[in-house]
Amino acid sequence: MIEEKTPGGEALARAQAQQAAEHAAGNSVSTDAQGRPMIFVRVYAPFQIFFEGDAYSVSAVNETGPFDILPQHHNFLCMLVPCELVIKTEAGERRIKINRAIMHVKSEKVTVFVDV
């Protein structure tokens, strides 16, 4: 089961879709307007995308404990335990409650496969 807790609307969804399209086209945004580094994050299940866009950080929990993924993180692969995934973006925090997931970090991209 996945529960999403986030304020937002159509403008946020449009901005995220635009960022995803730019990233897919190879025009990845690596910094925000103030020059702060960002990473591309995609959180999805087999039939639903929960988040796709640029973020400052991603926080989650694995068997070792809580951790954060920041820009320029080393390649990383882990199983997540039930937790609330926290994605910090320009628009604020996005929280997604997950029961099980796999997280993959490589080349400034964070991919979280939920319900696997």
DSSP per-residue letters across 3-19 = EEE----HHHHHHHHHH
Q: For the chain, what are the domain ranges?
A: 6-114
In 3-state terms, what secondary structure has residue 116? coil
The model's pTM: 0.75
Distance CA 37, CA 70 (A): 9
Instruction: Over range 78-107, report the average pLDDT.
Output: 96
Quick one: 6-114 is in which CATH superfamily? F0F1 ATP synthase delta/epsilon subunit, N-terminal (2.60.15.10)
Question: Which residues neighbour 9 within 8 Å (Cβ) at sequence distance 6 or greater?
Answer: none
103, two tokens: 């997280």
Specify the pLDDT at position 24: 57
Least confident of 7-16, 19-28, 38-47, 81-90: 19-28
Phi, psi dihedral angles at 46 (to 5 degrees): -55, -30
Residue 30: pLDDT band (50, 70, 90) is confident
- Rg over alpha carbons for the chain, rounded to the nearest Å, is 13
pLDDT at 41: 98
What pLDDT, on the 0 to 100 scale, is given for residue 7? 52
Which residue bears the tokens 């995609």? 42
